[in-house]
Structure 1
Amino acid sequence: MKLGRSLLLALALAPLTLPSAAMAADINMVLNWVPTADHAPYFYAKSQGWYADKGIELTIESGRGSGAAAQRVAAGASSIGVADMSTALLAKGKGANTVAVMSVYANTPQGFYWLKSSGINGPEDFPGHSIGNPPADASRVMWPLFAKTVGIDPESVKFVNITPQAKIASLKSNVIDITSDFYNEHDLKLREFGDDLGYVAWRNIGVNPYGNAVIVNPDFLANNKQMVADFVAITQKAFAACVENVDPCLDAIMKDVTGLDRDNQKDQWERIKELMRDDTTTTVALGAFSPERMASDYELVETYFSLEQPFDINDTYTNEFLATDVLMTK
């Protein structure tokens, strides 16, 4: 039986008129930890349909540390992730290949907390004490660098495995003497411990590598360059929107994530903006990496850690997908 010309034309055009949802790609994004304020822009962009508009069906998964996130992305279990940049560089030195496409923390958020009533006055008093954090915590991975910088033996402390949620309770109950945490949680500890809180920020002792960054699997990037470009453009736009007004962003994350205190998350976001701000993000692009700083970070990890597989630092990051008219506020 012969088909009419109109039917043949309809069949020929059918692939061009499929719903956009049919062309959507499922993308799994693994976070460095459980979702908090620094992850709000991803939830906000998703809630606004910005990723879906570009054919990206984004699934956001909680993580178990930057080291675990870097390994997961390198293995292709997640196409995209969030990880501490120095931790990602160390992982690459062991063969876990990732590419950073956007900086989140231009300044390291790493810090150590303790109670002054414990007799600890500063890092020089850390030897003989316990530090509680998760096994894949970036500060545990980078501990030898911190120890050498402040002049103590890296083997002089005992690490205790605790969950991120147990840090304050463990410190308060003296289960641990010291804990590591990101600066964005600073206000929560101030409210809990007041004047008894001791704190040292890595960036204040001259150790300021890049912190969290958005990383991608290099094979996924090579095969899906436009999709990665769209993802980065949307994410950069979302961060800029949240810097301008964080309230809708907090609405979005709190709708999807239980157990978050809004006031605490808002305090966190104010600290996060400090961490996002440097000369590069305010003049080149929000989320941009400085080649000079990245070279310095490579020298740092090469000097203090044994890289099984040395690499070209220029292969570990790109500013290619960032819009230069989207800047971090000064």
Structure 2
Amino acid sequence: MKHLLPALGAAALFATATVAGAAEPMSLMLNWTPTADHSPIYYAKSKGWYSEAGIDLSIEAGKGSAVSAQRVGSGGADLGISDLATSMQAKGKGANLTAVMVIYANSPQGFYWLKSSGIKGPKDFAGKKIGNPPGDAARIMWPAFAKKVGLDPAAVNFVNISPPAKVAALKSKSVDIISDFYNEHDLKAKEFGADLGFQPWREIGVNPYGNSIIVNTAYLQSHKDQVAKFTSITQRAYEACVKDFNPCLQALTAAVSGLSPDNQRDQWERIKTLMRDETTTKVALGAFDGARVKSDYDLVATLIGIDKGFDPSTMFTNDFLDKKVKMPAK
């Protein structure tokens, strides 16, 4: 699949105005409120790339990967962004969904604590309070983390807090530990300095695919051309933002109020690390590796459980990605 606009050719470009005027609605539910990792989508929308392809894209803020997976899987949203392992669990419960592009090729999950609390590492989490939202992928995947580090999954208490309240909750010591994505690392490092303890999941061997673009499978089957266009455009947008983040930052902050540009720049630098692995650099930006997907499936099935098993190869497709678009190696 070529870059969208060049591939459309002269005839399609001639028809752009007509297509845009008759753009078909498409709904996208994010995993959380919009931040830097969603900026390429806002950039592509601001440039008119979706509307030029006949897509009238609406974007809805999310409340966790579990919620977005359930919404997409039930047909309440056409597409969404969700942690892949969480999407696997949803699929095992009957959610009708397929992943078409990975954003985080590495797990963004991490736990944070204050060293002054006496916690030295995950083995000290027993009896402690972990603060995060109920729909957070870290809470759903906690049993896998706990078993990997030798903890009883029931050894901690989860406290419901909203994403913006995490740092304040840790600072006030109303919780002992918080979970958060690695792209938010700099805020906590600046706030707590040398007192900050941090354990990324990927460094202990729990590195499932993270945020991915998922599509309701029935919608995919009936709107294959639209999904192909959306995926190609979105892949191209992420490539553009990797090359130059400033236009993407401008598009994000113009669409979403209250964001700190400096914080979003810091986040994007971390995000690029999470986007990069051997498959995204050698096959295509956003591409899944089938062996890794199967490994993730086995991890979820063994350590957490999947209600109704399925063939992990049905979890994803790379068919809509342009193989010429690759993540830079560094």
Range into which the TM-score falls when normalised by the shorter chain: over 0.9
- What whole-Å deviation, never above 9, does each CA across 1:176-229 have from its counterpart, x for those lacking one? 110000000001110000000000000000111000000000000000000000
Say how many residue pairs are matched: 315
How big is the shift at 1:320?
0.1
- Structure 1 residue aligned with 2:307: 308
Distance between the aligned counterparts of 1:106 and 1:224, measured in 2? 26
Once the two structures are overlaid, the 10-residue window that deviates more, 22-31 or 121-130, is 22-31
CA contact (8 A) 2:26 2:78 kept: yes
How big is the shift at 1:242?
0.1
Distance between the aligned counterparts of 1:169 and 1:27, measured in 2? 37
1:236 partner letter: Q
Once the two structures are overlaid, the 10-residue window that deviates more, 39-48 or 301-310, is 301-310
TM-score scaled to structure 1, two decimals?
Answer: 0.94
Distance between the aligned counterparts of 1:67 and 1:158, measured in 2? 20
1:23 partner letter: A
What SS does the aligned partner of 1:140 have? helix
How big is the shift at 1:21?
3.6
Distance between the aligned counterparts of 1:38 and 1:84, measured in 2? 13
How big is the shift at 1:22?
4.1
1:241 partner letter: A
How big is the shift at 1:306?
2.4
Distance between the aligned counterparts of 1:18 and 1:185, measured in 2? 40
- Structure 1 residue aligned with 2:159: 160
- Structure 1 residue aligned with 2:189: 190
TM-score scaled to structure 2, two decimals?
Answer: 0.94
Distance between the aligned counterparts of 2:40 and 2:226, measured in 1? 18
- Structure 1 residue aligned with 2:47: 48
2:106 partner letter: N
Cα RMSD after superposing both structures: 1.2
- Structure 2 residue aligned with 1:322: 321
Distance between the aligned counterparts of 1:313 and 1:248, measured in 2? 37
Distance between the aligned counterparts of 1:302 and 1:23, measured in 2? 44
- What whole-Å deviation, never above 9, does each CA across 1:256-304 have from its counterpart, x for those lacking one? 1011100010000000000000000000000000011011111111111
How big is the shift at 1:18?
8.9
- What whole-Å deviation, never above 9, does each CA across 1:91-137 have from its counterpart, x for those lacking one? 11111121000000000000000001111110000011100000000
- Structure 2 residue aligned with 1:234: 233
Q: What aligned pairs does 1:234-313 form with structure 2 within 5 A after superposition? A: 234-313=233-312
The 1:20–1:140 alpha-carbon spacing in structure 2 relative to 1, beyond 3 Å, is same
* Larger Rg computed on CA atoms: 1
Distance between the aligned counterparts of 2:146 and 2:186, measured in 1? 25
- Structure 2 residue aligned with 1:68: 67
How big is the shift at 1:17?
11
Distance between the aligned counterparts of 2:21 and 2:262, measured in 1? 40
How big is the shift at 1:153?
0.9
Q: What aligned pairs does 1:64-103 form with structure 2 within 5 A after superposition? A: 64-103=63-102
Once the two structures are overlaid, the 10-residue window that deviates more, 278-287 or 306-315, is 306-315
- Structure 2 residue aligned with 1:176: 175
What SS does the aligned partner of 1:68 have? helix
1:205 partner letter: I
2:326 partner letter: L
- Structure 1 residue aligned with 2:4: none
Distance between the aligned counterparts of 1:288 and 1:316, measured in 2? 13
2:195 partner letter: D
1:188 partner letter: L
CA contact (8 A) 2:20 2:55 kept: no
Distance between the aligned counterparts of 1:250 and 1:306, measured in 2? 39
Distance between the aligned counterparts of 2:266 and 2:16, measured in 1? 47
How big is the shift at 1:26?
1.0
- Structure 2 residue aligned with 1:149: 148
1:196 partner letter: D
Distance between the aligned counterparts of 2:90 and 2:115, measured in 1? 35
Distance between the aligned counterparts of 1:259 and 1:26, measured in 2? 28
Distance between the aligned counterparts of 1:190 and 1:309, measured in 2? 41
Distance between the aligned counterparts of 1:21 and 1:143, measured in 2? 45
CA contact (8 A) 2:35 2:264 kept: yes
How big is the shift at 1:28?
1.1
Distance between the aligned counterparts of 1:77 and 1:17, measured in 2? 29
Distance between the aligned counterparts of 1:239 and 1:59, measured in 2? 18
Once the two structures are overlaid, the 10-residue window that deviates more, 237-246 or 16-25, is 16-25
- Structure 1 residue aligned with 2:131: 132
What SS does the aligned partner of 1:323 have? coil
Percent sequence identity is 58
- Structure 2 residue aligned with 1:35: 34
What SS does the aligned partner of 1:193 have? helix
- Structure 1 residue aligned with 2:12: none
Q: Which runs of 5+ in 2 are unaligned?
A: 1-14
Distance between the aligned counterparts of 2:93 and 2:197, measured in 1? 35
- What whole-Å deviation, never above 9, does each CA across 1:52-73 have from its counterpart, x for those lacking one? 0001011111100000000000
CA contact (8 A) 2:131 2:166 kept: yes
Distance between the aligned counterparts of 1:37 and 1:131, measured in 2? 25
